[in-house]
Amino acid sequence: MKYTDMTDEELIAQIRKQDDEAMDFLLDKYRKLVKRETREIYIIGADSEDLMQEGMIGLFKAIRDYNEDKNCSFHTFAVLCVKRQIYTAVTTSNRKKHYPLNHYISFYSQDGESKSLMMDILTAEDNSNPEANLLMQEQMGGLVNKMDTILSKYERRVLELYLDGLSYSRIAEHLGKSEKSIDNAIQRIRKKLSEDS
């Protein structure tokens, strides 16, 4: 494969030229590092895949933000970004673990303005309001337009198949790619959409 002989810095140069395969290769190359960094950590209410995903987001940020002029190897920078992302996820999780208990609202409490019971508000039909339906349609149209501008053609196709309910293996088979390539594309999509929202 053409990427195996490239340095990390050369791969990043390729990625900045919109080479999705170079991105997949570099993400796969560093997946073991991410797994090693997440092995000893635990988040309440999360599983190891959640931590792995956080680590991969850190790796994605490292690829996006790496600057050769800083006299630091990509490997060193990637380790730092992965650890920072995981640490942030753990501290954020620990801060929110008691939030539901400390900030609950009773179903039988009254809404301040209308004096309606929360139970009644929650059971009201959302689709009974034409104005709300129209606003929702406009928001969905805006989201589709936004996805068209921030996602590559390949990522849009992967997302379309994913939203149709296809598994990673079926998407990979359909597009003639590896499952890892599909997983990496999904992670990029999640990252891009979360940054843009």
C-alpha 112/C-alpha 109 separation (Å) is 9
- 168 confidence band (pLDDT: 50, 70, 90): confident
Look up the pTM and report it: 0.47
C-alpha 45/C-alpha 43 separation (Å) is 6
CB burial of residue 144 (10 Å; 0-12, 13-18, 19+)? exposed
- 176 confidence band (pLDDT: 50, 70, 90): very high
Is residue 145 scored above 70 in pLDDT?
A: no
Q: Which domains does the chain have, with CATH numbers?
A: 1-99 (1.10.1740.10)
C-alpha 54/C-alpha 43 separation (Å) is 11
What average pLDDT score do residues 158-173 get? Answer: 85
Q: Average model confidence (pLDDT) for the chain?
A: 76
Burial 54-71 (b: 16+ CB within 10 A, else e): bbbbbbbbbbeebeeeee
- Amino acid making up residue 17: K
Is residue 162 scored above 80 in pLDDT?
A: yes
What average pLDDT score do residues 24-36 get? Answer: 89
